Amino acid sequence: MPRINQKPFLPIPDTISQTWEIQSETKPANVDFSREIDPIIDRQQANYDRWDKRSLTPQHEREAQVNPLGVLDLLEKTSTALSHPISFDEISTGQSTPEVLTPLPIFNLDDQNIQLADSNNQIEPFRWTSGRPDGHAPIGVMGDHTHSAGEWMFSYRYRFMDMDGNREGTDNLSDAEVLQQFPVTPVRMTMQMHALGVMYAPSDDLTLMAMIPYVFKEMDHVTRRGVRFTTNSEGFGDIKLTALYKVLDQSQQRLHLNIGMSFPTGSIEERDNTPAGDDQILPYPMQIGSGTFDLLPGITYLGQSNNWSWGSQAIATLRLGENSNDYRLGNQLMLTGWTAYKWTDWLSTSIRLNGQTWGNLDGSDSRLNPMMIPTADPDRRGGTQLNLGFGVNLYAPSGNLQGSRLAIEFELPLYRSLDGPQLETDWRLTAGLQAVF
């Protein structure tokens, strides 16, 4: 049976049964403990009754090491040497007690800058954590993380998207080329969205999320006769409710399912004045909502190391039935992947690939003339696009704003193929604030 090297370290209890509180101690210099059994009993209590000579069995054996951030990691491990209780039958009054040693030298444990990684409210070793600037995905990703039980998060996002010029397939089209096919062509469109979000976790495995957007759209046009005009629409968009269910949380990796539903709260009756007359129904891309209930199934993966993090997400939008105007928007699939680097405890930067594909409309609004303008043609709405995004996350690790974040992401297109003529997206900017309570 293995024995522990015995040296004077802790006094033998003076009473028949006494509790010891044993803490880890810095290893003395110039001593080889390679053959020692080195259990670290960290703030755990060991009872020893010297009258019935019961065995003291360490509950954990852990290696201690200081990572590059100055955090003491206590790493769980299994030792065959501890497969049986360590006997202390020979210990009697006046004899020394087992010595508890750390296998690695650790200095300045009293320094306030060194934190036990598995202490309360601190980072746990080998566990994914959101308590760092890259603990959330780039701000352009929705439903990317879960929360601990009882935790709330409130967020605000602003998104601006600019579309300038038309494209058919992978080819750019001039206004004149589009006007050879249609009497009117769109030339530019902008979309702004303000979104309020809330997340709440009723348990560690389940997080609920809601998002309410308010949308502004503006589209510039030109006719064959050279008449230019602009149409506008605005209003609350479709409200989205999502459940995030965590299915994996180990080895600094997480995996959760996204199960969402979009509700048709956005308008599909937007109108404005055009050369064809006042109060005209606007084409499909100028409507605020889909007009249908939409399923939003998906899956999200997250991983971390000391300074790096990465993740990926797949989200589909599946339209359920037709809306009240006898059409439904095309289904969508979004695939995205990112990696981020944590420069400090409050700053990280990220790079992301964001791919999307969406289909043409099914059905049509009988009030729209598809021969007049390409935005009114239900067979010219599909496409595929791949963007490259660059992001910055700022995080408050302490103070009155602890846990709050400010983030921004800018996206540019790498590839675009559209069932046009159709306006092409040139760039997109997303910024946001997040606060946890």
Q: Which residue has the higher pLDDT, 24 or 149?
A: 149
Confirm if 50 and 13 have CB atoms less than 8 A apart: yes
pLDDT digits (tens, 9 = 90+) for 202-219: 999 999 999 999 999 999
Antiparallel, parallel or unpaired: β 184-200 and 171-173? unpaired
**pLDDT given at position 60:** 42
Q: Using CA of residue 243, residue 199, residue 137, residue 288, what is the dihedral sign? A: positive
Residue 281 in 3-state DSSP? Answer: strand
Confirm if 85 and 58 have CB atoms less than 8 A apart: no
Which stretches within 119-267 are classed as H helix? Answer: 175-179
Q: What angle do CA 393, 397, 403 make, to 5 degrees?
A: 75
Burial label for 192, CB within 10 Å (0-12, 13-18, 19+), is middle
| Residue-averaged pLDDT of the chain | 81
What's the CA gap between 263 and 384, in Å, rounded? 25
pLDDT digits (tens, 9 = 90+) for 230-272: 999 999 999 999 999 999 999 999 999 999 999 999 999 999 9
User: Average pLDDT, stretch 321-347?
Assistant: 97
User: Average pLDDT, stretch 389-399?
Assistant: 96
Domains delineated in the chain? 1-125 (no CATH), 133-436 (2.40.160.40)
pLDDT digits (tens, 9 = 90+) for 106-143: 444 343 333 332 233 345 567 889 999 999 999 999 99
pLDDT for residue 388 is more than 80: yes
pLDDT digits (tens, 9 = 90+) for 138-159: 999 999 999 999 999 999 999 9
What's the CA gap between 366 and 163, in Å, rounded? 26
Length of the chain: 437
pLDDT for residue 22 is more than 70: no
The amino acid occupying position 85 is P
Q: Which residue has the higher pLDDT, 326 or 4?
A: 326
pTM, whole model, 2 decimals? 0.72
What's the CA gap between 112 and 114, in Å, rounded? 5
Give me the half-sphere count of Cα atoms (radius 13 Å) on the Cβ side of residue 88: 24
Residue 376 in 3-state DSSP? Answer: helix
pLDDT for residue 401 is more than 60: yes
pLDDT for residue 344 is more than 60: yes
pLDDT digits (tens, 9 = 90+) for 273-285: 999 999 999 999 9
What's the CA gap between 106 and 73, in Å, rounded? 11
Using CA atoms in the order 153, 158, 163, 164, what is the torsion angle rounded to 10 degrees?
-150
Confirm if 223 and 212 have CB atoms less than 8 A apart: no
Question: What residue has token string 């959760």?
Answer: 256
Instruction: Provide the percentage of residues in the chain whose pLDDT is more than 70.
Output: 71
